[in-house]
């Protein structure tokens, strides 16, 4: 009679459950990568929170944010391929980008110079650590649902534009899992006209495939950032609306996703 060691039997059962097909092995690798992404994010985010808590001055905090964003993307082997950065003016401007993932902010923080302030939906103020970080690097929060508060936020953003601050907007306002470019809101373009600064369209590719709205774990995906030629308002008449149309068309031309405006109307 042969006796089975309980511990040996348990170990053997683990080996029996391990994936034997290439597809199962790929799934296991994918899960490991996703968990590694979250671990790396937690470590870098903790270091960044400590840095922005003690560093004096917004510029230094933004530089720390840029370095941490680059470090994180390097740690997860997702450093973006950047094209056209030389088209970004050295003078104040408004950057507008498509929005497909929470990673978009990390990607732009890694790519853009630290002089830019991000304009972000006010719902992020309800996320404690994110709110602290974003506030310490000089981000601006805008209300999307309360009309009165939204108007006050809009006036504040316009005043910043008049003072010739460089701003970053995601003019779609939010993102969903479904691929496609949504309707643009007008705040970024009104700010550009008020500040008499150009609008720079930026195309982010690959972030939705890496971490879409309905994904719990990031997946490997090549990331690309394309900085397009600056756009200028021709005149005061209908200038914000014209800038919105031309900026959206510029992004859509290099975005491998459908136009959702017709579906939303």
Classify residue 17: in a domain, yes or no: no
Percent of the chain with pLDDT over 90: 68
Tell me the pLDDT tens digit for each residue of 156-207.
Answer: 888 888 888 999 999 998 899 999 999 999 999 999 998 999 999 999 999 9
Q: Cα(28)–Cα(34) distance, rounded to whole angstroms?
A: 10
Task: Give the pair of three-digit tokens for residue 41.
Answer: 């994010």
State how many domains the chain has: 1
Residue 116 lies inside a defined structural domain of this protein: yes
Tell me whether residue 184 is in a domain: yes
- Alpha carbon distances (Å) from 221 to 79, 125, 142, 249: 10, 29, 31, 25
Domain limits for position 149:
25-264
Residue 9 lies in a domain: no
- What pLDDT does 123 receive? 86
- Asked if the structure places residue 189 within a domain, the reply is yes
Q: Is residue 221 part of a domain?
A: yes
Report how far residue 188's alpha carbon sits from residue 161's, in angstroms, rounded to the nearest whole number: 9
The band of 65, judged by pLDDT with boundaries at 50, 70 and 90, is: very high
Whole-angstrom distance, CA of residue 76 vs CA of residue 79: 8
CATH number at residue 63: 3.40.1130.10
Please tell me what DSSP assigns to residue 103. H
Q: What is the pTM of this model?
A: 0.86
Distance CA 263, CA 182 (A): 9
């Amino acid at each position: 009679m042969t006796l089975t060691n309980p511990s040996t039997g348990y170990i053997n059962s683990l080996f029996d459950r391990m994936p034997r097909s290439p597809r199962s092995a790929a799934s296991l690798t994918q899960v490991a990568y996703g968990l590694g992404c979250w671990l790396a994010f937690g470590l870098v985010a903790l270091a960044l929170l400590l840095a922005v808590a003690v560093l004096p001055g917004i510029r230094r905090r933004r530089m720390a944010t840029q370095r941490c964003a680059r470090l994180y993307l390097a740690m997860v082997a997702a450093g973006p391929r950047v094209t056209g950065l030389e088209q970004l003016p050295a003078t104040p401007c408004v950057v507008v980008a498509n929005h497909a993932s929470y990673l978009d902010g990390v990607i732009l923080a890694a790519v853009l110079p630290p002089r830019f302030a991000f304009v972000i939906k006010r719902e992020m103020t309800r996320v404690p650590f994110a709110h602290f970080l974003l506030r310490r690097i000089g981000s601006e929060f805008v209300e999307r649902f309360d009309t009165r508060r939204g108007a006050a936020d809009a006036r504040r953003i316009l005043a910043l534009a008049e003072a010739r601050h460089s701003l970053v907007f995601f003019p779609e306002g939010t993102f969903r899992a479904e691929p496609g470019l949504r309707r643009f809101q007008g705040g970024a373009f009104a700010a550009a006209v008020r500040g008499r600064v150009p609008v720079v369209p930026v195309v982010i590719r690959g972030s939705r495939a890496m971490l879409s709205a309905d994904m719990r774990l990031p997946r490997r995906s090549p990331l690309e950032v394309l900085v397009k030629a600056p756009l200028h308002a021709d005149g005061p008449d209908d200038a914000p609306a014209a800038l919105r149309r031309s900026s959206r068309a510029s992004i859509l031309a290099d975005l491998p996703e459908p136009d959702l405006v017709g579906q939303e109307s």
